[in-house]
Amino acid sequence: MTVKAFFKSTAFKSLAVLIAIVLAAGALLAICNDLLHISEEERLARSLSKIYGTDVTATEVQLTEEERSYTYGTVNAVYYVQNDGNYLFQTTGKGGYSNGNGKVTLWTVITCTGTREGGDLALTGIEKVVYDSNEGQSFISTLGASFYAAFADRDELVAGGGYFTATEETDDLYNVATGASESSNAACNAVNTALACFRTVLMGGDA
């Protein structure tokens, strides 16, 4: 086949059209990605607005790598909310769907009395748990508002040092959504990570 024949062949035309479509699609997506980019500040403002329903002022609490890592999850960020004196945790819980490798990231508002500086900080309960994102959780939409609200209904147990579980039914610490038990497990681990971080790092005690 001559060069001229190759450039006139169907194979070349097919390849050229496919490459042209891919390049045009890539260029369009690159432009849109830039136009529709969401900055970290915008994400934080959006999350705070979703949690509180109004604008609040929050300052980030600095943590070391060691203070962020726990057996069942990691702490992404901790904020001290100046409006009400509570602490806001963004945590990622492990143990979700996808052979236990799936993750669920939640925002947890922990209510407390006292101050960290004064050394009399005490956990009194969970005010609110709000969904943030997930990795590989197909049935995350099964976790409805009632699932997240259940975390805020157990202040007495949480203040007494308890944790949540989605794998075994033990009195009031049980919290699992039907049809999404593994995603529930990851969500419980995310909340437990926030509780563990508050107890060990902010209160300076044992998890």
Partner 1 sequence: MNASMKKYGKIAYDGLITNNATFKLVLGTCATLGMSTSAVNSFGMGLSVTVVLLLSNVIISLLRNVIPNTVRIPAFVVIIATMVTLLRMVLEKYIPDLYDSMGVFLPLIVVNCVILGRAEAFASKQPVLESAADGIFTGLGLTCALTLIGIIREFLGSGSFFGIRVMDFKIGFFTNAAGAFFVYGICIALFVLITDQIDRAKRVKQARLLRVPAGDAPLPPTDAQTEVK
The reply to whether 8 sits near partner 1 by the rule CB under 8 A is: no
Give the residue with the Cβ less far from partner 1, 140 or 201. Answer: 140
User: CA–CA distance from 72 to each of 115, 171, 196 (Å)?
Assistant: 27, 21, 10
32 binds partner 1 (CB under 8 A): yes
Distance CA 45, CA 42 (A): 5
Note whether 22 binds partner 1 by CB under 8 A: yes
Alpha-carbon gap, residue 144 to 100, rounded angstroms: 21
Minimum distance between the CB of residue 152 and partner 1, rounded to whole angstroms?
18
* Residues between 56 and 115 that touch partner 1 (CB under 8 A): none
Q: Could you say whether residue 124 binds partner 1 (CB under 8 A)?
A: no
Q: Give the interface size with partner 1 as a residue count (CB under 8 A).
A: 29
Candidates 7-15, 52-60, 70-78, 85-93: pick the segment binding partner 1 (CB under 8 A).
7-15
CA distance 101 to 67: 22
Rounded to an integer, what distance in angstroms lies between the CA atom of residue 118 and that of residue 27? 56
Establish if 149 lies at the interface with partner 1 (CB under 8 A): no
Least distance from partner 1 to the Cβ atom of residue 58, Å: 19
134 lies in the site for partner 1, by CB under 8 A: yes
Q: Where are the beta strands (DSSP E) in 29-183?
A: 58-60, 69-70, 73-81, 87-96, 102-113, 122-135
Contact stretch for partner 1 (CB under 8 A) within 65-73, 107-115, 127-135, 163-171: 127-135
Q: How far is the CB of 128 from partner 1 (least distance, A)?
A: 16
Rounded to whole angstroms, the Cα distance separating 178 from 127 reads: 24
CA distance 177 to 189: 14
Shortest distance, position 107 Cβ to partner 1, whole Å: 12
Report the chain's C-alpha Rg in angstroms. Answer: 23
Structure tokens at 139: 């049935």
The span of 29-37, 54-62, 159-167, 196-204 binding partner 1 (CB under 8 A) equals: 29-37
Would you state the structure tokens that stand for residue 13, as one six-digit string? 């035309």
Candidates 33, 39, 54, 62; binder of partner 1 (CB under 8 A) is 33
Q: Which two tokens stand for residue 200?
A: 């060990």
Contact residues: partner 1, CB under 8 A = 10, 13-15, 17-18, 21-22, 25, 28-29, 32-33, 36, 38, 46, 131, 133-134, 136-142, 144, 178-179
